[in-house]
Amino acid sequence: METMKLRSHIGCDGILLLQMPAEFKDTSVEVVVVVQTLPSQEIQPKYNAWGQVTTKKSIQAAIARMLQLRQEIALEKSSIRSMIEEGRRF
């Protein structure tokens, strides 16, 4: 009797595939399976509001675009005052 420790993945179809060493080729064996789930090593992707995967690059691009928009729509203090006066007319 030989004890082996193997790592494998059970697919979404529920099938576990085990690849055995070549020395067991064309041999009858009795197999005992002990299943222990492993902590997830995969980092689950995160998605933005539009369903796109967020990455460091996409986050940096979004921040750069927000800073650009802030500059484009920035108002001078004098124009804010004139807007308030314009609003009082109505």
Q: Residue 76 falls within a domain, yes or no?
A: yes
Domain of residue 82, residue span: 54-90
Residue-wise DSSP of the chain? ---------B-TTS-B--PPPGGGTT----------PPPP-SPPP-B-TTSPBP-HHHHHHHHHHHHHHHHHH---HHHHHHHHHHHHT-
Low-confidence ranges of the chain (pLDDT < 70): 42, 90
> What is the structure's pLDDT at 90?
64
> What is the structure's pLDDT at 7?
81
- Residue 36 CA to residue 28 CA, distance in Å, equals 25
> What is the structure's pLDDT at 73?
80
Q: Residue 68 falls within a domain, yes or no?
A: yes
Q: Residue 32 falls within a domain, yes or no?
A: no
Q: Residue 70 falls within a domain, yes or no?
A: yes
The whole-model pTM stands at 0.35
Backbone φ and ψ of 2, nearest 5°: -125, 135
